[in-house]
């Protein structure tokens, strides 16, 4: 009997090791399969999400006190032109902490839309449509989307509120313009690393209250990651859909600035001084290619583009274009052009002579 008692604890490490190995093998197998079958993976995740909502309708409901529409400036006058901010993938909640006060100070009424951002982008857009009638409808409303939030804005305008050649699917305020900041209009390979963004989302989340074990499932099962991949079915359909001519569109992209670019500039200057003009040109082309491909670190400049619409490029990182890293940093470089664009859209059209 004593010998059996002493042997029992040894089974736990072995069982735990077997369980961990099995989970690792299952994860690797799923990752390998999903990489080769993104369409089937997307469909399967959507089915699982629908089943979870059917089984646990209350626990899985997105209106949990965090998601939905929120005013950032309750004291704004009723006549203030409204702006709606739409965040991106796995955003912990502080991305608007610099832009929202700047908009308020400039005289705009600022709303924020929070949505379960790991679910399919089409589902997030439908969630926005459910809340659209809660917004003031007496004047046009401008949408500002950061990162994936820009895709939500484009999907909402082109499919729901102002579809071309078909009737709107939702009434309410007309959209007076859309500003895209760091939006991967052509997709981003970085979406494959969604698990690390998910960890940042929950570790740095500003959501009040105790830790919610269902928060990860309520946010979605990673369908957005597949929608964001270059060449996804979602992006193909979105980019093929016509954009309404009545809704102006403005794109801001960012390009990282750092030591590699400075070193290339020094090398180009040295090549010119040495009379080797061809080398200087090759270095300049290399610098441009690096900047194009790297973009803001998550979205390349090529991905930010849309047909016949070039983005305004600022020097910043993906989040740094609209959010300070530290309180003492200068104002993010995308804020000024956003305010300028809003003022231009608010100005009355000049009378034709």
- Which tokens is 120 given? 């399919």
In which residue are the tokens 């955003």 written? 91
- Which tokens is 178 given? 């859309």
> 3-state class of 115 per DSSP?
coil
What is the rounded (10 degree) CA torsion for 32, 35, 38, 44?
20
Instruction: State the chain's maximal CA–CA distance in angstroms.
Output: 104
pLDDT at residue 353, rounded to an integer: 37
Burial of 1 (0-12, 13-18, 19+ CB in 10 A): exposed
Write down how long the chain is. 353
Contact 221, 118 (CB under 8 A): yes
Contact 303, 188 (CB under 8 A): yes
Give the highest mean pLDDT range of 14-18, 90-94, 261-265, 305-309. Answer: 305-309
In which residue are the tokens 């970085």 written? 190
- Which tokens is 254 given? 């960012």
Residue 276 in this model has a pLDDT that exceeds 60:
no
52: phi then psi, degrees, rounded to nearest 5:
-65, -40
DSSP per-residue letters across 307-329: TTBPPEEEES-TTTTTS-SSTTS
pTM of the model: 0.75
CB contact burial 217-253 (16+ within 10 A = b; e otherwise):
bbbbbbbbbbbbbeebebbeebeeeebeeebbbbbbb
pLDDT in tens, 92-120: 779 999 999 999 999 999 999 999 877 88
Contact 205, 102 (CB under 8 A): no
pLDDT at residue 66, rounded to an integer: 78
| Cα-based distances in Å from 35 to 196, 220, 225 | 17, 19, 12
Residue 340 in this model has a pLDDT that exceeds 90:
yes
- Which tokens is 32 given? 């390998």
pLDDT in tens, 173-222: 999 999 999 999 999 887 555 444 444 444 444 555 545 555 555 555 56
Contact 188, 227 (CB under 8 A): no
Between CA 149 and CA 143 the distance in angstroms is 9
Residue 336 in this model has a pLDDT that exceeds 70:
yes
For residue 346, give every residue at least 6 positions away whose Cβ sits within 8 Å of its Cβ, in sequence order, or none: 81
pLDDT in tens, 242-273: 999 999 999 999 998 644 555 556 555 665 66
Between CA 323 and CA 179 the distance in angstroms is 16
Between CA 69 and CA 92 the distance in angstroms is 16
245: phi then psi, degrees, rounded to nearest 5:
-70, -20
pLDDT in tens, 86-97: 999 878 779 999
Q: Which domains does the chain have, with CATH numbers?
A: 68-256+298-346 (3.40.50.1820), 259-293 (no CATH)
DSSP per-residue letters across 153-183: HHHIIIIIIS-TTS--S--SSPEEEEEEES-
């Amino acid at each position: 009997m004593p010998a059996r008692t002493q042997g029992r604890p040894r089974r736990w490490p072995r069982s735990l090791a077997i369980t961990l190995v099995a989970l690792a093998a299952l994860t690797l197998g799923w990752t390998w399969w999903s990489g080769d079958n993104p369409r089937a993976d997307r469909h399967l995740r959507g089915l699982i999400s629908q089943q979870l909502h059917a089984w646990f309708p209350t626990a899985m409901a997105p209106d949990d006190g965090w998601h939905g529409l929120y005013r950032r400036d309750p004291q704004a006058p009723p006549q203030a032109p409204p702006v709606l901010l739409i965040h991106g993938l796995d955003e912990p909640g502080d991305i608007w902490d610099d832009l929202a006060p700047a908009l308020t100070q400039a005289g705009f009424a600022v709303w924020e839309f929070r949505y379960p951002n790991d679910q399919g982008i089409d589902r997030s857009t439908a969630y926005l449509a459910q809340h659209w009638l809660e917004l003031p409808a007496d004047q046009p409303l401008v949408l500002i989307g950061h990162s994936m939030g820009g895709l939500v804005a484009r999907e909402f305008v082109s499919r729901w509120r102002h579809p071309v050649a078909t009737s709107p699917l939702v009434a309410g305020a007309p959209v007076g313009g859309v500003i895209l900041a760091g939006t991967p209009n052509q997709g981003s390979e970085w979406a494959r690393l969604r698990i690390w963004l998910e960890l940042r989302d929950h570790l740095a989340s500003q959501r009040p209250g105790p830790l919610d074990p269902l928060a990860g499932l309520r946010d979605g099962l990673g369908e957005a990651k597949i929608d964001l991949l270059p060449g996804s079915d979602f992006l193909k359909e979105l980019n093929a859909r016509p954009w309404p001519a009545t809704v102006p569109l403005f794109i801001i992209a960012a390009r990282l600035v750092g030591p590699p670019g400075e070193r290339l500039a020094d090398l180009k200057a040295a090549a010119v001084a040495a009379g080797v003009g061809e080398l200087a040109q090759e270095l300049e082309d290399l610098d441009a290619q690096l900047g194009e491909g790297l973009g803001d670190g998550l979205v390349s400049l090529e991905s930010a583009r849309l047909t016949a619409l070039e983005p305004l490029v600022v020097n910043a990182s993906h989040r740094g274009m609209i959010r300070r890293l530290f309180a003492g940093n200068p104002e993010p470089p995308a804020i000024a052009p956003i305010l300028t664009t809003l003022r231009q859209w608010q100005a009355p059209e000049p009378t034709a002579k």
